[in-house]
Chain A
Amino acid sequence: MSRESTESEIDSHDASTDRSTTPRHDEIDYLSREVNLLKPSTPFMRDHLKVIWTGFIAWALLTFGPPVLTYFAPATMTARLPVIGFPMHYFLVAVLSPTSSLVLAFIYSRKRDQLDERYGIDHTASQTRSTSESEAAVADGGRVE
């Protein structure tokens, strides 16, 4: 059980309050940590899943909320909106819901980048390194900023 104790030791660091040293992610061997959506085993996955579940719940409400409300309260939901003239249910489903997915996708992408930053992960650096390593990379000039 020596490995177990090391794991909890490493993880306990992130329970401490100092944010800058919070994720002791250099010390974690990710290949030995279980992957289970319902039982995140590393601080990184815990943090990541917080972002994912928050986004997912917001998405589910915004996507399925309007049709469900329309079903249960048709009179209220089909009232015409002032100025733009849409029946409300139509506007919510045709315009608001799809747009909210885009906004949430953008927010998630930003949050995940911030998470990477907090854990000191740099995809760009790995990119340059691996390209020079792998002989004759077939890159045709497509580059990430």
Chain B
Amino acid sequence: MTPSVFLQSGDLLPEALNISFKLVPAIMVVGMLTLFLAIGYVFKVADTEGMWVAGRSIGNIENGMAIGANWMSAASYLGLAGLVALSGFYGLAFIIGWTAGYFVLLIFLAAQMRRFGKYTAPDFVGDRFNSDTARAIGALTTILIGFVYSVGQARGMGLVGLYVFGTDYVTMVIVMMAITVGYLTISGMMGATKNMAVQYVILIIAFLTAVYVVGFTGGYSTVLPHIEYGQLIGELSTEFSEPFVNAGFYLWIATAFSLIFGTCGLPHVLVRFYTVENEKTARQSTVWGLFFILLLYWSAPALAAFGVDLYDASQYGPTFAANGGMSGGEGDLIVVLAAQLSNLPTWFVGLVAAGGIAAAIATTAGLFITASSAVSHDIYTNIINPDATQRQQVFVGRATIVALGIIVTVTAFDPPALVGELVALAFSLAAIVLFPMFFLGLWWENTNRQGALAGMSVGLALWVAAVVNDLIFHFSDLFAEFVPAIGAALVGTPLVFVVTIAVSMATDEPPERIKKMVRQCHSPEPMGQQQSAEDVVMSADGGQSPADD
């Protein structure tokens, strides 16, 4: 296997996949998407309040499922098993990285964020540091994250689309992205959230069914494939389980670190805490969300192991051949391939494929909503046109979705890495730029505007340098060694912490009003559903609203 983090995009096409038009799977996909659109239509909303946070009225289990659906993108559904299949033990760094972060998010940020009570990540940064520049950097970061993350989804959708509809990869990317954008422009987040519980259920059923059926028909497992695949691992070639052969120890830890703290800074995850009634629900839905996520994460390595064994036995194997072996495209499709190579009926493989498409659409929906509110709410309304009407805001939001859709589609024609790796880049950005702002902003009241601006700028520059070095123009081996784009947060996050703290200490303390908002986030007193920390602070001041807003 290639030891480098990024596989060549040349090995994109999945040779082993049965590429042709298949009627029953096609009907399943179309039916599923129609169902999404119908639900979206029923909950169609026109006002901006409804569009962004679903009126903050969603219960903990439903919100947990929405967290799960948001999370279980093509990266989890397809990419994770692909990484485990192609990179062996290194792939497990992604399993740790994409689950363990929820605990850190829960203990340090979830309830405090909910109490702060702002719509989006840029809103938080802008209000906490009382700076439109901070808001703009936050919005820019949100858009970048949405973009990188969505390219991964588009690649996943395009590849799975090949199994169902045939044609070619580029056509499939265009068709799938058009569907996602069309759906999103029609319904707002109210519909999207309702859909997300539905989408979660569909895709977890599809995935678990795949694991059980493939495990059973292959004779690998019976009642608990999540544990039973252990026997198989000893029999597979050593590349599959030997530690630190495909990637070294440093890269392993750096990747896990980036993904964990990226989880805590990811805007489309945080926005989920604004859709719940109070901080207690925010906490409970985080626990539920992690459980719903784990249902898939316990299963993915099992399916990867089955897939690798089936691939070894097929005419295309072995997986870890010196020449050829499993290609990047095949790795990303290992979930579908495992079902196909088990000689299961077409409709069944189609169900698994449909789940992959649902996963990609659900996440892309959440990302596009977040990016669109970053543009219409944080950049357009707060900075460019403060007098914007609701109509104008909604229009700008929708235009953003369409524009972003087009850019993502074009980039996904020739993606520079695997689905899981592309998505991991977004995590390292979130871990470097946003997580330190959230953490320090909520846990140290003296963090000030200058500190935040310095920290975010340094972080953004470091991430861009790492991505350029790894993917676009290679300028330094040493830099690539210690600041790999995928694990840049291991160096970047502590650096941003140090810069932010140092600059904050060297400059004036933030105003009393801001400090009080931070204190309100930590007060144990319950807050109303529609209240933000700012409201409480202002009413405590006897209604004297400060004029600095």
Which of B205-213, B252-260, B427-435 is near enough to bind chain A? B252-260
B241 touches A90 (CB 8 A): yes
Q: A31-B519, A32-B519, A94-B95 are in contact. Are A71 and B243 (CB under 8 A)?
A: yes
Kindly state whether residue A22 has any CB partner on chain B within 8 Å. Answer: no
B445 touches A36 (CB 8 A): yes
Expressed in whole angstroms, the Cα–Cα distance for A32 and B445 within the complex equals 12
Kindly state whether residue B278 has any CB partner on chain A within 8 Å. Answer: yes
A130 touches B529 (CB 8 A): yes
B301 touches A94 (CB 8 A): yes
In chain A, residues 119-145, which have Cβ atoms closer than 8 Å to a Cβ of chain B?
A: 119, 121-123, 125-127, 129-131, 133-134, 137-144
In chain B, residues 438-487, which have Cβ atoms closer than 8 Å to a Cβ of chain A?
A: 442-446
Q: Which residues of the partner chain A approach B284 to less than 8 Å between Cβ atoms?
A: 109, 144
Q: Which residues of the partner chain A approach B281 to less than 8 Å between Cβ atoms?
A: 144
Partner of A37, one of B278, B443, B526: B443
B252 touches A67 (CB 8 A): yes
B287 touches A109 (CB 8 A): yes
Expressed in whole angstroms, the Cα–Cα distance for A45 and B526 within the complex equals 15
B57 touches A140 (CB 8 A): yes
Q: Tell me the count of chain A residues lying within 8 A, CB to CB, of chain B.
A: 71
B446 touches A93 (CB 8 A): no
Which of B27-35, B151-159, B230-238 is near enough to bind chain A? B230-238
Q: Which residues of the partner chain B approach A93 to less than 8 Å between Cβ atoms?
A: 89, 92, 95-96
Kindly state whether residue A1 has any CB partner on chain B within 8 Å. Answer: no
B529 touches A121 (CB 8 A): no
Q: Tell me the count of chain B residues lying within 8 A, CB to CB, of chain A.
A: 80
Partner of B104, one of A37, A59, A68, A125: A59
Expressed in whole angstroms, the Cα–Cα distance for A130 and B99 within the complex equals 34
| Closest Cβ neighbor of A87 among chain B residues | B241
Partner of A98, one of B100, B108, B111, B531: B100
B92 touches A105 (CB 8 A): no
Partner of B531, one of A101, A104, A130: A130
In chain B, residues 476-510, which have Cβ atoms closer than 8 Å to a Cβ of chain A?
A: none
Q: Which residues of the partner chain B approach A55 to less than 8 Å between Cβ atoms?
A: 103, 107
Number of A-B residue pairs, CB cutoff 8 Å, is 209
Partner of B231, one of A64, A84, A116, A123: A84
B103 touches A35 (CB 8 A): no
Partner of B278, one of A78, A80, A127: A127
Q: Which residues of the partner chain B approach A101 to less than 8 Å between Cβ atoms?
A: 99-100, 102-103, 290
- Against A, the Cβ 8 Å flags (1 = close, 0 = not) of B49-66 are 110000111111011000
A105 touches B290 (CB 8 A): yes
B290 touches A35 (CB 8 A): no
Q: A138-B50, A142-B58 are in contact. Are A91 and B243 (CB under 8 A)?
A: no
Expressed in whole angstroms, the Cα–Cα distance for A110 and B106 within the complex equals 12
Q: Which residues of the partner chain A approach B525 to less than 8 Å between Cβ atoms?
A: 30, 121
Q: A87-B241, A98-B96, A126-B526 are in contact. Are A33 and B59 (CB under 8 A)?
A: no
In chain B, residues 515-549, which have Cβ atoms closer than 8 Å to a Cβ of chain A?
A: 515-516, 518-531, 537, 540
User: B341 CB to closest chain A CB, in angstroms?
Assistant: 22
Q: Which residues of the partner chain B approach A140 to less than 8 Å between Cβ atoms?
A: 55, 57-58
Q: Which residues of the partner chain B approach A127 to less than 8 Å between Cβ atoms?
A: 277-278, 526, 528-529
B294 touches A71 (CB 8 A): no
B518 touches A35 (CB 8 A): yes
Kindly state whether residue B291 has any CB partner on chain A within 8 Å. Answer: yes
A70 touches B243 (CB 8 A): yes
Partner of A143, one of B59, B230, B531: B59
A144 touches B280 (CB 8 A): yes
A98 touches B227 (CB 8 A): no
Partner of B297, one of A45, A98, A131, A141: A98
| Closest Cβ neighbor of A67 among chain B residues | B252
Q: Which residues of the partner chain A approach B93 to less than 8 Å between Cβ atoms?
A: 67
Interface centre among B89, B230, B301, B527 (most CB of A within 10 A): B230
B290 touches A102 (CB 8 A): yes
Expressed in whole angstroms, the Cα–Cα distance for A41 and B527 within the complex equals 21
- Against A, the Cβ 8 Å flags (1 = close, 0 = not) of B17-61 are 000000000000000000000000000000001100001111110
Q: A71-B244, A130-B530, A134-B528 are in contact. Are A64 and B253 (CB under 8 A)?
A: yes
User: B108 CB to closest chain A CB, in angstroms?
Assistant: 7
Q: Which residues of the partner chain B approach A24 to less than 8 Å between Cβ atoms?
A: none
A33 touches B234 (CB 8 A): no
Q: A31-B523, A37-B443, A105-B103 are in contact. Are A123 and B280 (CB under 8 A)?
A: yes
A85 touches B524 (CB 8 A): no
Kindly state whether residue B15 has any CB partner on chain A within 8 Å. Answer: no
Kindly state whether residue B378 has any CB partner on chain A within 8 Å. Answer: no
Q: Which residues of the partner chain A approach B62 to less than 8 Å between Cβ atoms?
A: 142
Kindly state whether residue B216 has any CB partner on chain A within 8 Å. Answer: no
Expressed in whole angstroms, the Cα–Cα distance for A90 and B90 within the complex equals 10
User: A89 CB to closest chain B CB, in angstroms?
Assistant: 6
Q: Which residues of the partner chain B approach A51 to less than 8 Å between Cβ atoms?
A: 107
Q: A89-B89, A90-B241, A142-B57 are in contact. Are A98 and B519 (CB under 8 A)?
A: no
Q: Which residues of the partner chain B approach A56 to less than 8 Å between Cβ atoms?
A: 104, 107
User: 3 nearest interchain CB pairs?
Assistant: A130-B528, A138-B55, A126-B526
- Can you offer 19 A-B residue contacts whose CB atoms are under 8 A? A30-B520, A31-B516, A31-B523, A35-B444, A51-B107, A52-B107, A71-B249, A85-B231, A95-B298, A99-B298, A101-B100, A105-B290, A126-B278, A126-B528, A130-B527, A130-B531, A134-B528, A134-B529, A142-B58
Chain B positions within 8 Å of A, measured between CB atoms, are 49-50, 55-60, 62-63, 89, 92-93, 95-96, 99-100, 102-104, 106-108, 111, 226-228, 230-234, 241-244, 249, 252-253, 256, 260, 276-281, 283-284, 286-287, 290-291, 294, 297-298, 301, 442-446, 515-516, 518-531, 537, 540
11 additional A-B residue pairs with CB within 8 Å, beyond A84-B231, A121-B525: A30-B519, A31-B519, A35-B519, A52-B107, A52-B108, A67-B93, A89-B243, A102-B290, A102-B294, A127-B529, A141-B57
